[in-house]
Amino acid sequence: MNKRSLNIVRALAFISVIAITMLVYSLRDQIDELAVYGYPGIFLISFLSYATVLLPAPGVAVVFAMGAVFHPFGVALAAGTGAALGETTGYLVGFSGQGVVQRADIYEKLTVWMQRNGPLTVFLLAAIPNPFFDMAGLVAGALKMPYLKFLLFCWCGQVVKMLFFAYAGATSLNNLIPRIFG
């Protein structure tokens, strides 16, 4: 791919991410309503929640609550898959606009970690709740980590994180509800 074509692809990726983020942010009040559709609804909520770049969305709260309604492992798989695919937007921003955040201290630290062991960094940052995963996706994209490698390790980490929240919701809500109404 020549430089001009690469710049066009980068610009289109960046514009797509902005459009997705604006759409999700405008629909943020209706996102919770998708949970009535079961696992596909949980997937979609998670996808939309994690497709935003640097803007908060309600994904983990829904996973916590749905863990008490559906099987927590199924919730974790649906939510983890949606979250990993949603994180593609951060990767695309990094791929398309490397200069967007390169001066931030956390960006520099993540770049060093990603250069040393990118897959492990992606997995660990996806597996723990933290505000820096969008930045990790940006760094992975900017460093041109192969997309499928990024997606695989992001998915594994997201499923681990969602398992924690789904089982925590199942355990706490299933124990709390009988005490209140029983």
Query: How is residue 68 annotated by DSSP?
Result: T
- Cβ within 8 Å of residue 50, ≥6 positions away: 57, 59, 82, 83, 84, 85, 86, 87, 89, 158
Provide the residue ranges of all domains of the chain, joining segments of one domain with +.
3-181
Q: Is the pTM of this model over 0.85?
A: no
Number of Cα atoms under 13 Å in the Cβ half of residue 123? 9
Give the pLDDT confidence score for residue 58 in this predicted structure. Answer: 64
Give the pLDDT confidence score for residue 128 in this predicted structure. Answer: 92
Give the pLDDT confidence score for residue 121 in this predicted structure. Answer: 94
Give the pLDDT confidence score for residue 119 in this predicted structure. Answer: 95
From residue 154, alpha-carbon distances to 10, 118, 123, 140, 164 in Å are 21, 11, 5, 11, 16
Following DSSP, what letter does each residue of 37-52 receive, concatenated?
Answer: GHHHHHHHHHHHHHSS
Residue whose C-alpha is closest to residue 126's, from 60, 27, 44, 29: 60
Low-confidence ranges of the chain (pLDDT < 50): none
Give the pLDDT confidence score for residue 122 in this predicted structure. Answer: 95
Structure-token match 């559709």, residue found: 37
Give the pLDDT confidence score for residue 35 in this predicted structure. Answer: 65
Give the pLDDT confidence score for residue 19 in this predicted structure. Answer: 67
Query: How is residue 101 annotated by DSSP?
Result: S
Give the pLDDT confidence score for residue 22 in this predicted structure. Answer: 62
